[in-house]
Amino acid sequence: MGSTQSNGADTGSRATRAVALVGPAGTGKTSLAEALLFASGAIQRQGSVDAGTSVGDASPEARARRGSTEINLLNFDYLGDHYALIDLPGGAGFAADGLAALQSADMALVVIDPAPERAVLAEPMLRRLDELGLPHAIFVNKIETARAGAVRGLVAELQPMSGEPLALRQIPLRDGEHVTGYVDLALERAYLYQPGKESQRVDIPGEMRERERSERTHLLETLADFDDALMEALLMDEAPNPATVMADLAFDTGSNKVVPVLLGSALTGGGIHRLLKLLRHETPAPDAASARLGTDGGALHVFKVANGGAMGRLALGRVLGAPLAEGDELKAGSEAGRTGSLFFVQGDKTVKRHDARVGDVVAVAKIEGARPGLLLGRNGSPGRELLVEYPARNAALAITTRDRKDDVRLSGALPRLCEEDPALAWTQDGASHDTILRGINDEHLQVVIDRLQRRYGVPVNTRPPRIAYRESIRKSATMRGRHKKQSGGHGQYGDCVIDIRPLGRGEGFVFEDRIAGGAIPRQYIPAVEMGIKDAMDRGPLGFPVEDVAVTLVDGSFHAVDSSELAFRIAGRMAMGEALAQAAPYLLEPIVKVTVNTPAGTGSRAGSVLSSRRGQILGLSPHPTWGRWERVEALLPESGLSGLDAELRSLSQGLASFTAQFDHLAELSGKQADEVVKTRAAEAA
Ligand SMILES: Nc1nc2c(ncn2[C@@H]2O[C@H](COP(=O)(O)OP(=O)(O)OP(=O)(O)O)[C@@H](O)[C@H]2O)c(=O)[nH]1
Ligand SMILES: [Mg+2]
């Protein structure tokens, strides 16, 4: 029989098939992975996500959430073949993790709920799979909870979201309220689910015949669109050859011409053996992925860097084109390196191996510069980089260590966390010295904070980052600034007179020197300008000043006591007082927000934006996703805080947005007073 997990490459079996489990949050992807491991005999007991006993989701963060926070890698054998599962998190905040894995997978299983009203949640992923050209099937999980008519309604909802025709392969058999089995439309056979075992064949119940025939006809017509002989048979009213039907199904699925829809339950095991058979017959060999990516001699396709495990830094990737062994050369452009230790991953366990088969998903130590989407070339191929499109970073947090002593550890940990999480970024805010973390949403950042504490032992305090308020002036003013200190010894003397006036929005700062007759010696003029800029760093309201023109018109000096420092101080004094006289007012940053939300929720999303002082620019259908709407608005940056959560709560967790700085706008009244008061309190 075929090899087991631990004894290395097996030349007797086919290349490993890599199957990605994708779909909305909580549909049961990790549970399905567990069910597949159990049904194939890779594990002896089926664990559960809810009880914290599943092979996947083993990290403390995932266990605490009862949902995946990062990808799970799993392996199993079925009828002598090897399968690698890549279980992607469905939660919006974790959607970037392992996304690159879809580029080199052989097949994706889109796991969804049976409720038709939740079908819309699958649209973004279905669109993405179409763009990638990745063969996929839809697995309707939790089938035991399906209402009567749900499957029919579901297919009607899903079809417009798919570029390819859906091929419903099964219809549910019911006993009263419950789904107890299915009719296989290709084989024309009925099966009853058997807990923990393969389903039991039964006769198709009489009352199902009519529905079965009409759904089967629909299935055959779908296949006939790609098979002239089958089309002819249908037109002649001949019964098609079952072998032809099965071959068409396998070919059309594997070449992404049709998308099969299967039913089952990860919880009860119903339909899982049938799903294994689909994976066996209809998942294309990795050559298709190699051809899609254009890897000639072979490649290691890196889809994630993991720093969290016991083995330190590992590149997770897929072996394409040729087997890979420890020490083999890998090329990234003109640079080459040797493959470090190889590991196979099963949940949070790693097993060292000397070599990997074509198609295997492996973890490789010591690959410099590895990052998601990097195709490392083998056997003469140079390798290249594939672009991955990640979700926008819509949440930000300012963090500070609880103990200053941890600062060094924090600055060591952040680059490592960012390296393995492409949706995470950090910056040091120059003005406030704050460390700012940016991520997809609040939930994402919370998990990052948890990781920071658990893995690197750095507890931090968090707060919303400061908004970049600015201030400007409404009026002109003239002011003298004189700095004079002549009590004993060497004195200090600087004296200048400036005119200031408002500039147009976005014109910044203009300085003009109109000193005539040497009232201030040349060499002190840059010092005056510097002093003016000092004052503009923090205007009378407490924020950086913008859009002001300053003219230096007069001044005086002292032959002995004048110095650059004295003139800088004089400039600062003049500017500080001039600004206070020039009717200063507050400016707040306005961002342009684009919200994508399921159809029917757009106007509520608009109300949320309005209630946050947003100015709605438009509500329209989404340009490419059929059942979605798009709302565009201008929104004060302060309105972004908590927006993600509020939009998601009105859209089954699905709405997402992007925000980009647009302009600065005047802020007045109570809101402005509040901002100025808060700033003054902070400064004090
Ligand atoms: N009734 C029923 N519940 C199921 C089934 N499969 C999974 N669940 C439950 O659905 C919930 C989510 O399961 P997960 O496997 O964590 O879902 P997931 O798709 O991996 O979720 P994310 O990783 O957050 O995207 C858990 O409470 C499971 O017990 C099923 O077939 N039937
Ligand atoms: Mg999961």
* Cβ of 145 less than 6 Å from ligand 1: yes
Clarify whether residues 269 and 167 are in a common domain.
Answer: yes
User: Do the domain assignments include residue 1?
Assistant: no
Clarify whether residues 314 and 411 are in a common domain.
Answer: no
Number of helices (H), then strands (E), belonging to the chain: the values are 17, 35
The domain in which residue 313 lies consists of 295-385
User: Do the domain assignments include residue 217?
Assistant: yes
C-alpha of residue 261 to centroid of ligand 1, in Å: 18
- Encode pLDDT of 643-662 as tens digits: 988 998 998 888 889 888 99
End-to-end Cα separation, the chain, in angstroms? 76
Clarify whether residues 439 and 355 are in a common domain.
Answer: no
User: What number does the ligand 1 atom closest to the CA of 54 have?
Assistant: 15
Alpha-carbon span 158 to 467, nearest angstrom: 42
- Encode pLDDT of 567-612 as tens digits: 999 999 999 999 999 999 999 999 999 999 999 999 999 999 999 9
Clarify whether residues 48 and 115 are in a common domain.
Answer: yes
Clarify whether residues 520 and 659 are in a common domain.
Answer: no
Counted domains in the chain: 5
User: Do the domain assignments include residue 392?
Assistant: no
Q: Which ligand is nearest to the CA of 265?
A: 1
Say yes or no to pLDDT of 7 above 50. Answer: no
Alpha-carbon span 105 to 655, nearest angstrom: 27
Alpha-carbon span 26 to 34, nearest angstrom: 14
| Mean pLDDT of the 179-195 span | 94
pLDDT number for residue 266: 97
Clarify whether residues 418 and 499 are in a common domain.
Answer: no
Alpha-carbon span 457 to 450, nearest angstrom: 10
Residue 552's SS3 state is strand
User: Do the domain assignments include residue 149?
Assistant: yes
pLDDT number for residue 10: 44
| Mean pLDDT of the 230-238 span | 93
Say yes or no to pLDDT of 197 above 80. Answer: yes
Alpha-carbon span 371 to 316, nearest angstrom: 9
Q: Domain of 374: which CATH number?
A: 2.40.30.10
Strands 17-22 and 628-636: unpaired
Alpha-carbon span 217 to 355, nearest angstrom: 47
Clarify whether residues 573 and 591 are in a common domain.
Answer: no
Clarify whether residues 259 and 343 are in a common domain.
Answer: no
* Whole-number CA gyration radius for the chain: 32
User: Do the domain assignments include residue 98?
Assistant: yes
Residue 673: which H helix or E strand, with range? helix 669-683
Clarify whether residues 284 and 301 are in a common domain.
Answer: no
By C-alpha distance, which of 120, 124, 149, 159 is closest to 258? 159
- Encode pLDDT of 216-226 as tens digits: 999 999 999 99
Amino acid letter, 590: I
pLDDT number for residue 5: 37
pLDDT number for residue 432: 65
- Encode pLDDT of 324-363 as tens digits: 999 999 988 778 888 999 999 999 999 999 999 999 999 9
Residue 474, judged by CB atoms within 10 A of its CB (0-12, 13-18, 19+), counts as exposed
Clarify whether residues 176 and 222 are in a common domain.
Answer: yes
User: Among 432, 463, 494, where does a domain finish?
Assistant: 463
pLDDT number for residue 527: 97
Please give the mean pLDDT across all residues of the chain. Answer: 92
Q: Domain of 661: which CATH number?
A: 3.30.70.240
User: Among 582, 608, 629, where does a domain finish?
Assistant: 582
Residue 18's SS3 state is strand
User: Do the domain assignments include residue 652?
Assistant: yes
C-alpha of residue 110 to centroid of ligand 2, in Å: 12
- Encode pLDDT of 670-679 as tens digits: 999 999 999 9
Clarify whether residues 47 and 62 are in a common domain.
Answer: yes
Say yes or no to pLDDT of 634 above 80. Answer: yes
Helices 272-282 and 242-254: crossing angle in degrees, nearest 10, is 80
* Cβ of 49 less than 6 Å from ligand 1: yes
* Cβ of 72 less than 6 Å from ligand 1: no
The structure tokens listed for 238 are 């001949």
Clarify whether residues 38 and 172 are in a common domain.
Answer: yes
Confidence band of 369 (pLDDT split at 50, 70, 90): confident
* Cβ of 69 less than 6 Å from ligand 1: no
User: Do the domain assignments include residue 483?
Assistant: yes
User: Do the domain assignments include residue 82?
Assistant: yes
DSSP letter at 545 equals B
User: Among 385, 420, 448, where does a domain finish?
Assistant: 385
Q: Which ligand is nearest to the CA of 141?
A: 1
Confidence band of 281 (pLDDT split at 50, 70, 90): very high
Q: Domain of 525: which CATH number?
A: 3.30.230.10
Cβ contact 266:32 at 8 Å: yes
Amino acid letter, 531: G
- Encode pLDDT of 421-479 as tens digits: 999 999 987 666 789 999 998 899 999 999 999 999 999 999 888 898 999 999 999 99
- Encode pLDDT of 28-40 as tens digits: 999 999 999 999 9
C-alpha of residue 319 to centroid of ligand 2, in Å: 24
Q: Domain of 236: which CATH number?
A: 3.40.50.300
Alpha-carbon span 404 to 293, nearest angstrom: 48
